[in-house]
Amino acid sequence: MLVVERPDPWHAHVSPTAEVDRLRGWVLSTALPMLVTGSTSASPLLPEAMSLDDDGRTLRDRIRDPRRDPAYTRLRLLHERRLAEASSAPWSFPEVVNEEFTD
């Protein structure tokens, strides 16, 4: 299992996909509008993500309604399955190397 440890004062272990999603949201809603317009009250002109697959809709329709779940939602089932596999597997430990390395 991979987690990101936040520094103090928000000390917590969180999922990297959730952290990246929060950062992406902040960039989309705050940083880009501030850089482009000088204000955070501007709404983004393009969606957060858009599928490039040909789903029968026009480009304009895909921009208006991107229909894409965030990464943590798309990866949730995979993470749950891997966690279940890891939890049911016997414990294993990597070999300890007790040698000096010389470069």
Would you say residue 73 lies in a domain?
A: yes
Q: Classify residue 56 by burial, with Cβ atoms within 10 Å: 0-12, 13-18, 19+.
A: exposed
Answering whether pTM is above 0.85, one says no
Least confident range from 9-18, 30-39, 58-67: namely: 58-67
Instruction: Identify the CA nearest to 21 among candidates 80, 82, 77, 73.
Output: 73
User: Average pLDDT, stretch 85-90?
Assistant: 90
Would you say residue 72 lies in a domain?
A: yes
pLDDT at site 67? 66
Beta-sheet strands, E only, within 1-103: 4-5, 13-14
Domain extent at residue 69: 53-83
User: How many domains would you assign to the chain?
Assistant: 1
Would you say residue 71 lies in a domain?
A: yes
Would you say residue 58 lies in a domain?
A: yes
Would you say residue 63 lies in a domain?
A: yes
pLDDT at site 42? 65
Would you say residue 68 lies in a domain?
A: yes
Residue-level length of the chain: 103
SS3 state of residue 102:
coil
In angstroms, rounded to a whole number, what is the distance separating the alpha carbons of residues 62 and 57?
A: 6
